[in-house]
Chain A
Amino acid sequence: MGMTRAGMRRREALDGYLFIAPWLIGFVVFVAGPMVGALTLSFMSWDLFSSPEWVGLANYRQLADDPLVLKSLENTAFYTFLSVPINLVVALMAAMLLNTQVRGVALFRTAFYLPSVMPVVANAVLWFWVLNPEVGIANALLRRLGLPESQWLYGVASAKPTFIMMGLWGVGNTMIIFLAGLQGIPSSLYDAALIDGANAWQRFRAVTIPLLSPVILFNMVIGVIGSFQIFTSAYLLTNGGPNNATLFSVLYLFRLGFEQFQMGYAAAFAWLIFAVILVFTLIQLKLSTRWTYYEGQEA
C-alpha cells in the first residue's frame, strides 16, 4: 500500500528535521540560548557571586560614559578597516599566483595555507620572537638594511599596525576561498577577452573581479566579523597595552566580565559589539548590490 503524496511530503519533512536536529539543538542550547541569556543579563547588575539585580538600561547608559568603550571600539575599527582590505588584496594576489599552472603548485598552496591552521597561541609565540625589538629578526633585518628599528608591539603608534601585519600570516583561509572562486570562472571568458585584445589588467578588471565579486563579498563580511572579534593574540601579546593602544573591544569585554566582575555591564557591551558588527554587515550587504555580479544576472 503506497503513501499519499501529502503523507510522503510530511515524512520527508520529518526526516529532514530529524537529520538537522543535532545542529538545531546545538544552536538553540549553545548559541541562541546564551544570546538571550546575555541580553537578559545586560539589563542586570551581576558580579558573578551574588544574585543579579535588575537595573534596566543603566548598563547601556554607562557604556556611553565609559571612555574605554570608545577607545576599544576605535582601536577595533582601526584594526578592522585596515586589516580586512589588506588581507583581501594579499589573499587575492596569492590566490591568483597559486591559480597558475606551475610545477609544484600543490606544494605552494599547502605552504601558503599552512600558517592559517596553526593554533593562534603558537602564532602569537612565533610573532613575539620575530618582533622582539632587542633580539627579534624583524629589527635585525631593519638594522642590516640601515632602516630605523621599530618598537613593534611595544610602541603606541606601531602596536596596531603590527597586529595588522601579523594578521597577514593567517591569510590562507581567505586565499583558499578565492582560489576556489577563481577556478570556477570559465576559461572561455578569458579566451573571448583575449580575442577581443584585452590585456592582463583588463582581463582582471572585466572578467576576474566581476565573477569573483560574490566571493569577495563573502570574504569581506567574514573578515569584518572576525576582525571585530580580535582577542587571543592581543590578550597573549600585549594585554591591551601599551597605553591601551591594543585594547580591542572583546579584550575589554573579557576584562569587564572576568577581571572586574561586571558581568551585566559586559553583557551590555557584548550586545553593543554585536549591534556594531550587524550594522557593518548590513551596510556591506546593501552596498554590495552595486558591485557584486551573480551568474545569470544582467550586467
Chain B
Amino acid sequence: MSASTPVSRRQLLKQTSKGAAALGLASIVAAGAAPAIVQAKTKIRMITPAALGVERDLYQSFIDEFQKEQSEIAVDLSFEAWDDYMTKLPTLFAGGAVPDVVHQHMSIVQDYGSRGVLEDLTQYMQKDGIKQEDYIPALFEAFSRDGKVLGIPKDSAAWGIYYNKDKFDEAGLAYPKDDWTFDDFRLAARTLTIDADGHRGVDASFKPGNNQKQWGLSWVTPGPTESENVRGFIRARGGDWYDENQTQTLITAQPALDHFQMFHEMRCGEHSTPSDALSAGQGDPFRQGLTAMAVAFHNMDYFLREEKAKFKWDVTFIPSGPGGQFVPVGASSWAIPAKAKNKDAAWQLVKHLTSKAVQTQIGKNGRWGVSQKDSIATILPENPSSGFKKVHIDPLTGESDRTVIAFRFPANQSKIQQAYAKHFDPIWTCDNDNVPGAAKETKSEVDTILGKS
C-alpha cells in the first residue's frame, strides 16, 4: 500500500490543466482520423417541426429512403416542437447556421419571403420539369411572392364543417344540405345548443350560462390571423380579407362586418359557440361531444376513427352566400434558404419529399393531406362518410363546382395578430359590442403594417 502524498492547490490545478490539454489533443487527433468516406458525402441539414411519434417516424423513414437512393447525400434531420421551431428557425438564420431545407407553413412563408431569405425555386422546378399543375392549384398561391416560388407544397388540408349526426337527430334537425346558407348554419347552431336544464337555444326558456350542456359550434377565431379556413366564410359573403395586392384590408366592408357580427352574436347573444374559457382543457370539444358542429379538415375524421367515437358524424361544405361557396385549403411547404450551403442537394431532398411516392405514403396514413393532385385519393378512408370525398377530395381534383381557395398570409403576421388581439379580443370576450368600431381601428393599424411590408 502506498502512502498518500499531499497535493497542493497549485499542483492540483497544474495536473488538471495537463489532463484537459491531453484530452483536447486526443479529440483533435481522433477527429482528423475520421473515415474519409464521410467527408466525401454532401451533408445537408434539414429542420422541421413534428409531433412526437408517428409524424417523426414518418419523416425519418422518408429520409432513410432518400439516403438509400442518394448515397452521396447525408441528411442531418432535426425535429422541433411547433412553438420551438418558430423561435429556433430565425435564431439559426441569425447565427449563420442556416439549414439547407426548412419547413414553411403558409402563415409564415411571406414573413421569410419578404426578407429575401428563401431561395426562388422556379429555376429548379423548370430544370427538373416539376409543374405547378401537378399540385393542388390553389396551394402555390400561398407560397409565391412577386412571381417567385418560395416553397413546394408538402401537404394540404381542405376545410369543411363536421357535424354530429346523433345530435342533429336528437334535435329533430335535418342534416345540413350541401348548399346551406349562413341562416341555416346559425339556426342549426342555436337549435343544437342546450342549457343546464335541457332547454335548447331556440326555446324561450333557454338560460345560457357557464354550465351549458352543449354548444352548436366549436369556436373558430373569425379573423384572418389564426387559420386560412375563415376565408371560406368571408368569401361566401362576397368579401375578402385583403385587396388583390394586399395593400389594404377590407374588414370595414359590409361582408366582413356581417361576418364578424354573426360570430359575435353567436357567441355573446345566442351562446351557441363556447368561449375559450368554457372549452379550454377538454380536448377537442367536437370529439368530446360538447359541440355539435366544428370547422375542420380531414384529420377530424382520422381522429374520430382512431378514438372510436361513439357517435355518427359526417362533413359538409362551409355555408354558401352571395359570393358563392368555397373550400379553403391550407398547407405547409419545404423551402430552401437563400444562404443554404448545398442548394442542389437540398433540392433533391425537397423533390423526394414532395414526390408522388412519398405523398402517397403520407396520404395512406390518413392523418395528413397531400399536395400532389394524383395522390389525393389516398386519403380516402375505408367506409368513408358521405361527405368526405365531396369536401376533402373532389374540390382538390377539380371534380367539384365549389371553388378551392388558399390564403396568402401577409408578412408581419405577428404584428397583424397583435392589432386584431387589441381590438377584437373584447368583441370575442363579449366586453365590447361595437364591431364596426373594432374593424375600423384594426384596419387603420393593419393597413399601416401592410404599407411597411
> A residues bordering B, Cβ < 8 Å?
11, 15, 18-19, 47-50, 68, 128-129, 132-136, 139, 149, 151-156, 240-244, 255, 258-261, 263
Contacts and interface: CB of A to CB of B under 8 A. Distances in A.
Contacts of A68: 418
B193 to A, nearest CB: 15
Q: Is the interface of B mostly helix, strand, loop or mixed?
A: helix
A18 B425 CA distance: 57
B421 interface: yes
Interface stretch (B84-92, B126-134, B174-182, B317-325): B84-92
Given A242-B276, A255-B414, A260-B414, 12 more contacts: A15-B9, A49-B112, A50-B115, A68-B418, A128-B280, A134-B278, A135-B281, A139-B210, A151-B277, A154-B276, A241-B421, A243-B425
B342 interface: no
Nearest to A16: B9
B93 interface: yes
A48 B87 CA distance: 11
B13 interface: yes
A133 B90 contact: no
- Among A129, A139, A156, A260, the one with the most B-chain Cβ atoms within 10 Å of its Cβ is A260
B306 to A, nearest CB: 23
Given A49-B117, A261-B115, A133 B91 contact: no
B248 interface: no
B450 to A, nearest CB: 15
B282 A134 contact: yes
Nearest to A139: B210
B280 to A, nearest CB: 6
Interface in B106-129: 111-112, 115-117
Contact of B281 (A129, A243, A261): A129
A149 B414 CA distance: 33
17 contacts: A19-B9, A48-B93, A49-B115, A128-B281, A134-B210, A134-B280, A134-B281, A139-B210, A151-B277, A154-B280, A154-B429, A243-B422, A244-B421, A244-B425, A255-B418, A260-B412, A260-B415
A134 B274 CA distance: 11
A155 B421 CA distance: 14
B275 interface: yes
Nearest to B10: A15
B301 to A, nearest CB: 26
Contact of B93 (A19, A49, A129, A240): A49
A4 B357 CA distance: 81
Contacts of B415: 260
